[in-house]
Amino acid sequence: MRVKRVALAASMMVLALVAIAVPAKQASAAAYTNGPIALKSRAYCEAGKLVTWKRLVSDSGSVQGRVYAYRRDHRICVFVVDRLPGAHAMRAQISSKSLNGWDQGTYNEYAGAMVAPPHVCVYAFGSLVVNGKFYDRRVWVGC
């Protein structure tokens, strides 16, 4: 019975990575024109230089996943890793004041990465959903 409960609880969790890219010099810019958000592979990111990795931690203190950030060609490349089955939604915002410019896709574990426009700062957001309740995790990635 306990095994069924654990399996059910695990199947009801979803981890999402949201990368918000903010222009480093002008965080309040209405639009950013140095290139769009690009969807890449984990291998593309790892060919660059590791900037940081951060834990996405639940309210109970358990690690639900990690966000990895690499720098390649003056761009931050971000992907999420976790122990949960299923797919993850990733979004990126290229303007700090507008929701215009969101790119999104769904990926299996390790399969997707997102590259910000050149010379921007990136926040990563992890959203854990358990039994229909959202738990947000905000992680500063870097510039």
Percent of the chain with pLDDT over 70: 28
Backbone angles phi, psi at 53, to 5 degrees: -140, 145
pLDDT in tens, 56-107: 666 676 666 777 888 888 888 877 776 555 555 544 444 343 333 333 333 3
pTM of the predicted model as reported, rounded to 2 decimal places? 0.55
What does the alpha-carbon distance between residue 126 and residue 131 come to, in Å, rounded to a whole number? 16
Among residues 30, 112, 126, the alpha carbon closest in space to that of 77 is found at 112
pLDDT at 47: 94
The residue with tokens 């095994």 is 3
Percent of the chain with pLDDT over 90: 3
Among residues 142, 136, 113, the alpha carbon closest in space to that of 56 is found at 136
Per the prediction, the chain carries an average pLDDT of 58
